[in-house]
Amino acid sequence: MIYRTYCKEIPEQLDDITNSFCNKPMGGLWGCRGNEWKNWCKAEHHRLDHLKQVFYWTLADNAKCYRIHTEEDFIKLIKKYGNTKYDSIDYMQMKKDYDAIEVVGNVVYELRYGCKDTGHRFIDMMGLNAWDIPSICVMNTDKVVRLRYAK
């Protein structure tokens, strides 16, 4: 699978993964499978200056990626990595087991406003609301295989 990252410039070093209150990881390398990010930015008039370059990449063959295709996949993730202290997913802990996390297809829209009762009130309420589009976040960026840049 080839992913795209739109950016003003490709940073030489990426930020380490940290947890956030919005139920998605902060840092790492973010990308998408097609033009979803570009289309979303144009529709929302968001970071249009970041659409100047696109970086094409793929994951290394030995990379472990947790893919969320369904609500059940999301609930399994919550049950394993739910952090009761912050009532969010502990991506820093998840990084020890997985190199990347990807939200695939329409599940990002289906879980936009919450999911079944998992015992994590904030996660149940937020669902995947902070994930704007189907996308991937690489938490262990040594698993990124650089392909090419384009303008």
**Quick check: helix, strand or coil at residue 91?**
helix
The alpha-carbon radius of gyration of the chain (Å, integer) is 15
Q: Is 33 left (phi over 0), alpha (psi -120 to 50) or beta?
A: alpha
Tell me the per-residue pLDDT of 65-113, one tens digit each, with 9 for 90 and over: 999 998 889 889 888 998 766 667 899 999 999 999 999 998 888 877 6
Determine which of 7-11, 68-72, 74-78, 139-143 has the lowest per-residue pLDDT on average.
Answer: 7-11
CA distance 73 to 93: 17
pLDDT, one tens digit per residue, over 18-47 is 888 777 899 999 999 999 989 998 999 988
Three-state DSSP class for residue 95:
coil
**Closest-CA residue to 6 (of 40, 58, 57, 52):** 52
Distance CA 42, CA 61 (A): 33
